[in-house]
Amino acid sequence: MKNYPDYEVPVLNSLKELVDYAAHEYHDAAAFMFRDGTGVASKSYREFREDIQALGTALLLRGFHGAHIAVLGENSYAWLVTYFAVVNGGNVIVPVDKDLSEAEMAEVLKRSHCSVLIHSRKYRETALGIGAGLKLCVDMDSADGNGFDALLCEGRQAVGNGERGFSDYEVDIHRLAAIVYTSGTTGKSKGVMLSHANLMADAVAARRKINLTGPSLLMLPLHHTFGFTANVLCGIFAGYTIFINDNLKYVIKDMQEFKPVNLFVVPMILESMYHKVWSTAKKSGKDKKLLTGLRVSNALMKLRIDLRRKLFAEVLAALGGKLEFCICGGAFLDEKIAEGFRELGVHIMNGYGVTECAPIVAENRNGYYNDKSVGVLLPCNEVRIDRPDETGEGEILVRGANVMLGYFEDDIETKKVFDNGWYKTGDLGRLDADGFLYVTGRIKNLIILSNGKNISPEEIEGVFRAIPYVEEIVAYGENDRILAEVFLNRDYFVQNGITDIRGTLDRDVDELNKTLPPYKQLSGVKIRETDFERTTTQKIKREHIGA
């Protein structure tokens, strides 16, 4: 299967080309659907381009060219129009993480030299606090003269009168277009500088590797590059409808109503969905029936008879009924989750990326995948394993058209992460003979023992995550011992009539320890009463674990 062919797609170099291409190819087909307070609204690809031109023209006529413009808010159509209008008119977009504190948001605006803030109604009060000193604050939901709709009307009128400054503007694809702040698990966030060329090289390459069909449900936050590049840019490129979810509380409701064919998710969402499937089956007394169905289905699959969508129609109905595949990225995904969903008829394609690479570096494919890996490399980049050990494992270095311009106004940090043009990801991994990339941990997280052994906590966590009631686990080193903190699924013990939680955990840990060499075995496990603190992209913060 190494010769599994790439898909043929047009080569587009800028987000402006993408918008024009989609409007020309898909015209009045629905690009986005969303709830607007009175019901469900729809915007076609043609209307999307017109709204972008209107807002971009209004900003240009108000003197904003080369300006740094921040966007703040939950996922919305206005958020998307803002992003494209800003970057396609020669300005720089600064997506603000809506989960930051007000002080952190103010710091982002200050560090990025923003002169404009465009925000949603929910952040109106926040904008009053952080927007002082800016040249313009625009409320996406306001009807006043500086409101979003007023700017659209202003721009539409100017375009109607023959104004073509925005429409005729030629994008320099290699100049700074976006400053995206990282949400690392340790240290201060850095402003990743991305160009049109970076973003579109990544989107085009991703489309060559995956056959995308829709509709799709957008649930990942738009300030996160995975959600923006994979879900939005690739979705526009493919020309299907994207339903915009603006609140994760309504994801299941939205899935059942809008019946997506694909989802872009982080592992935590997939794990939650999978556990929900089994807990629902258990509560309704249908878990044994489901297990029997899986045994029958797996036997039939060996004979190339696929009845999964019929056998598990009830399970799939809870996910909308038409879900065929999920693209997952952002953190470690347990291969058993991918295998479990595939047995039910939903194909999981795990991938790997970092913000600095716009962000996708590798991904599993529709017909060529390995659940233990993060997939094959995108054609827009190459990977080198630096200083590999005897197993072939070393630091993952990336070079290619999708790699960032650098960190905004931070030459010192930029120089630290580049080695003769190769971006040093800080991740550990290896490549196999079939071209699959495996990510095994983070260099910063390595546990270094006094005997010189280097242990990846992610490897240890992967072993003990096999315990069915371990929801979350973080391993760490202390005084030459490997320890861990775990957050447990208490419902599991209730459903299985287990009262001795500590004893059960200790016995299961002892059994798994026997599968590991002595220096990798857990010497102690602490049970947490609350789940771990996470970054806004749902990665566990490790800096205070074991402190």
Q: What percent of the chain has pLDDT over 70?
A: 97
pLDDT at 142: 85
Highest average pLDDT, of 182-196, 374-388, 529-543, comes from 374-388
Q: Is residue 390 part of a domain?
A: yes
pLDDT at 495: 83
Q: What CA–CA distance (Å, rounded) separates 321 from 364? A: 23
Q: Is residue 336 part of a domain?
A: yes
**Residue 124 pLDDT greater than 50, yes or no:** yes
pLDDT at 480: 86
**Residue 364 pLDDT greater than 50, yes or no:** yes
> By the 8 A CB rule, do 206 and 189 touch?
no
| 99 shares a domain with 123 | yes
Report the number of distinct structural domains present in the chain.
Answer: 3
Across residues 227-246, what is the average pLDDT? 97
Across residues 376-380, what is the average pLDDT? 97
Q: What CA–CA distance (Å, rounded) separates 211 from 380? A: 17
Distances (CA, A) of 517 to 87, 453, 521: 53, 12, 7
| 214 shares a domain with 115 | no
pLDDT at 295: 96
Q: Is residue 413 part of a domain?
A: no
pLDDT at 449: 82
Q: What CA–CA distance (Å, rounded) separates 120 from 142? A: 9
- Domain end, chosen from 382, 412, 444, is at 444
pLDDT at 2: 63
Q: Is residue 421 part of a domain?
A: no
| 440 shares a domain with 488 | no
| 244 shares a domain with 152 | no
Give per-residue burial for 365-401: e unless 16+ CB within 10 Å, then b.
Answer: bbebbbbebbbbbbebbebebeeeeeeebbbbbbbbb
Sort strands 481-488 and 470-478 into parallel, antiparallel or unpaired. antiparallel
> By the 8 A CB rule, do 82 and 193 touch?
no
| 206 shares a domain with 341 | yes
Helices and strands: H and E segment counts in the chain: 19, 26
- From the list 430, 478, 440, the residue with the least C-alpha distance to 460 is 440
| 280 shares a domain with 267 | yes
**Residue 359 pLDDT greater than 50, yes or no:** yes
Q: Does this model's pTM top 0.85? A: yes
| 164 shares a domain with 229 | no
DSSP state of 434: T
| 247 shares a domain with 356 | yes
Across residues 94-110, what is the average pLDDT? 94
Q: What CA–CA distance (Å, rounded) separates 485 from 471? A: 11
**Residue 452 pLDDT greater than 80, yes or no:** no
| 521 shares a domain with 439 | no
pLDDT tens digit sequence for 134-193: 999 999 998 787 899 999 999 999 999 999 999 999 999 999 999 999 865 445 789 999
- From the list 543, 479, 467, 482, the residue with the least C-alpha distance to 184 is 543
pLDDT at 3: 65
| 334 shares a domain with 229 | yes
Q: Is residue 213 part of a domain?
A: yes
Q: Which residues lie below 8 Å from residue 311, measured CB to CB, with a gap of 6+? A: 293, 296, 297
| 348 shares a domain with 266 | yes
CATH classification of the domain holding 466: 3.30.300.30
pLDDT tens digit sequence for 287-313: 999 999 999 999 999 999 999 999 999
pLDDT tens digit sequence for 326-342: 999 988 888 889 999 99
Q: Is residue 467 part of a domain?
A: yes
- The three-class DSSP label of residue 226 is helix
Q: Is residue 535 part of a domain?
A: no
Distances (CA, A) of 516 to 509, 521, 522, 527: 11, 6, 9, 21
| 474 shares a domain with 372 | no
CATH classification of the domain holding 58: 3.40.50.12780
Q: What CA–CA distance (Å, rounded) separates 248 from 98? A: 14
Average pLDDT, the chain: 93
Q: Is residue 320 part of a domain?
A: yes
Domain range for 501: 446-528
